[in-house]
């Protein structure tokens, strides 16, 4: 269990953010999000929303994978503005 789970407000903000993510932003979030990131917590509704959005946008392919690389790290992931 997460010792600092997101608030209901933070979850709602993430839902809105997920709806606006581009394919590249989804790929960066998927690749570079730190362990425990709320979007990838299966106990929250965010993961299902994210996977649906990412899949609808086309998911990851070799070209996008090459573009985002592996060395960018956490500074390349979208953040939630509260």
Residue with tokens 């690749």: 31
Beta strands in 7-63 (DSSP E): none
Q: Report mean pLDDT in 10-residue bins for the chain, 82 residues.
A: 83 96 94 91 94 97 91 60 50
From residue 64, how far is each of 18, 19, 25, 28, 37 by CA, in Å?
19, 20, 11, 10, 22
Rounded to whole angstroms, the Cα distance separating 74 from 28 reads 9
pTM score:
0.82
In the numeric block, the tokens 């979007």 are attached to 39
């Amino acid at each position: 269990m997460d010792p600092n789970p997101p608030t209901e407000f933070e979850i709602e903000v993430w839902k809105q953010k997920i709806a606006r993510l581009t394919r590249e932003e989804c790929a960066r979030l998927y690749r570079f999000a730190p362990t425990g990131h709320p979007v990838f917590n299966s106990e929250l509704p965010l993961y299902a929303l994210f996977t649906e959005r990412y899949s609808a946008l086309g998911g990851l392919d070799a070209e996008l994978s090459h573009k985002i690389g592996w060395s960018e790290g956490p500074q390349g992931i979208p953040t939630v503005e509260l």
